[in-house]
């Protein structure tokens, strides 16, 4: 085994030890988690994903701009539509469940939806936007629109199968929609966008409205037949390199790790209220199995232990450049004071946590996925493979 592989293996074991939860342990949102003994594995025939760029596998590349090199260099050896050098969490989920990588619903070339579909779009929010993509960088495909796209896929799949269309073999059956896993990872952009124009208290005031939108979509999916939900909380926004770079440090603003504490506190409040919402939905949707997944704790632990795990400074960006004066996106180039600056990649993405200042690298995603898949960071503590089991 090579030196790099040994280092990676040691890092994975170290993170596993760091993030191991005792029975009924505390979550990153400060709420006690239920310890559940589950032995019944599920057989998910498909997965349907809703979210933002953290799980977008090509929606924006199909709709707005093509993905460019060096994105994709670690796993695909070419751009794959992901804002990453390799795989996202949703890709590792698909691998764990023996499902194919999810095709974006809006991709017009070669999609096969037999194993599910991806509706996530980079820049998406839970609340609908009133600006175009070019005006504000926010995707028009907010969570409610993604749910409408899902309904369209379901109806057209049923019609096409009943009509015996030649491509019916590439579409999910009606039973697949009921027995599928529904993953949701969204909310980061709602908070991040608000930080740019609101005080922290004002951002907090928007949380109930944001979560009301998420609740409505979960309920609508339920009435469309969805039963198994895997719902991510939001990550430590204050630890994103872009957040740290573009918010001048103030007294008491930077925590011991180097993150913007006030932004993380708002994210934690969002997560606390999201967890309460998931608990409420369990009572209101009697046939649903809803799992709340503490992504925040996994990401914050990885960042706080970066150097011990063999990573470089977690606030360093592998691909692209960002300073207070200019941004050069990953794979792009820009003239700065007469000099062409290119958004090239670092020499070894395996040693970085941040791919482009906002999104995580393939290696970071893999290490986070390992902790999430086993259920130790979830409430109830159910592994991904058993997420169809209703508890409580």
DSSP H helical ranges for 50-186 = 59-63, 89-96, 133-136, 143-162, 174-179
Segment 44-61, tens digit of pLDDT: 999 999 999 999 999 999
Selected catalytic residue, list 53, 67, 139, 147: 53
The residue-averaged pLDDT of 260-268 equals 96
Tell me what pLDDT residue 356 has.
Answer: 97
Q: Is the pLDDT of residue 9 over 60?
A: no
pLDDT, one tens digit per residue, over 152-188 is: 999 999 999 999 999 999 999 999 999 999 999 999 9
Q: What is the pLDDT of residues 115-160, one digit of tens each?
A: 999 999 999 999 997 665 555 568 999 999 999 999 999 999 999 9
Residues 345 and 369: their CA atoms lie apart, in Å, by 23
What is the pTM (predicted TM-score) of this model?
A: 0.90
| Euclidean distance between CA atoms 297 and 88, whole angstroms | 17
Whole-angstrom Cα distance, residue 47 to residue 341?
A: 40
Contact criterion met (CB below 8 Å) for 350 and 8: yes
Top CATH class, 25-33+42-296+362-386: alpha beta
pLDDT band at 25 (very low <50, low <70, confident <90, very high): very low
Confidence (pLDDT) at 266: 97
Give the chain's mean pLDDT. 90
Is residue 359 annotated as a catalytic residue, yes or no?
yes
| Catalytic residue of the set 356, 362, 376, 379 | 356
Query: Which member of 103, 232, 321, 359 is catalytic?
Result: 359
CB 87 within 8 A of CB 362: yes
Q: Is 157 marked active-site?
A: no
> How many Å apart are CA 116 and CA 124, to the nearest integer?
20
**Residue extents of the structural domains in the chain:** 25-33+42-296+362-386
């Amino acid at each position: 085994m090579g030196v790099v592989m040994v280092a990676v293996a040691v890092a994975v074991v170290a993170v596993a030890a760091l993030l191991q939860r005792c029975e009924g342990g505390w979550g990153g949102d400060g709420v006690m988690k239920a310890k559940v003994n589950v032995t019944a594995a599920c057989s998910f025939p498909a997965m349907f994903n809703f979210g933002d760029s953290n799980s977008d596998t090509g929606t924006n590349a199909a709709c707005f701009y093509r993905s460019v090199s060096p994105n994709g260099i670690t796993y695909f050896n070419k751009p794959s539509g992901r804002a990453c050098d390799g795989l996202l969490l949703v890709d590792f989920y698909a691998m764990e469940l023996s499902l194919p990588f999810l095709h974006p619903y809006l991709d017009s070339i070669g999609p096969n939806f037999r194993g599910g579909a991806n509706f996530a779009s980079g820049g998406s929010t839970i609340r609908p936007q009133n600006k175009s993509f070019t005006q504000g960088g926010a995707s028009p495909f907010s969570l409610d629109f993604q749910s409408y796209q899902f309904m369209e896929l379901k109806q057209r799949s049923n019609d096409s199968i009943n009509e015996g269309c030649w491509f019916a073999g590439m579409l999910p059956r009606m039973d697949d929609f009921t027995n599928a896993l529904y993953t949701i990872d969204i909310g980061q952009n709602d908070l991040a966008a608000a930080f740019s124009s609101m005080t922290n208290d004002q951002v907090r005031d928007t949380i109930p409205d944001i979560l009301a939108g998420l609740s409505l979509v979960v309920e609508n999916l339920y009435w469309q037949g969805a039963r198994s939900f895997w719902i991510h909380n939001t990550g430590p926004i204050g630890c994103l390199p872009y957040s740290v770079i573009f918010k001048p440090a103030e007294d008491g603003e930077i925590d011991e790790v180097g993150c913007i504490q006030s932004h993380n506190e708002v994210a934690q409040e969002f997560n606390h209220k999201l967890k309460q919402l998931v608990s409420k939905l369990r009572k209101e949707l009697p046939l649903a199995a809803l799992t709340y997944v503490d992504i925040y704790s996994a990401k914050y632990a990885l960042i706080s232990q970066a150097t011990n795990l063999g990573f470089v400074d977690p606030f360093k960006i592998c691909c692209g450049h960002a300073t207070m004066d200019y941004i050069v996106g990953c794979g792009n180039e820009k003239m700065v004071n007469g000099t062409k600056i290119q958004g090239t990649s670092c020499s070894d993405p395996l040693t970085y946590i941040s791919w482009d200042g906002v999104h995580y690298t393939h290696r970071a995603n893999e290490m986070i996925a390992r902790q999430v898949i086993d259920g130790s960071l979830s409430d109830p503590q159910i592994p991904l493979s058993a997420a169809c089991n209703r508890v409580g």
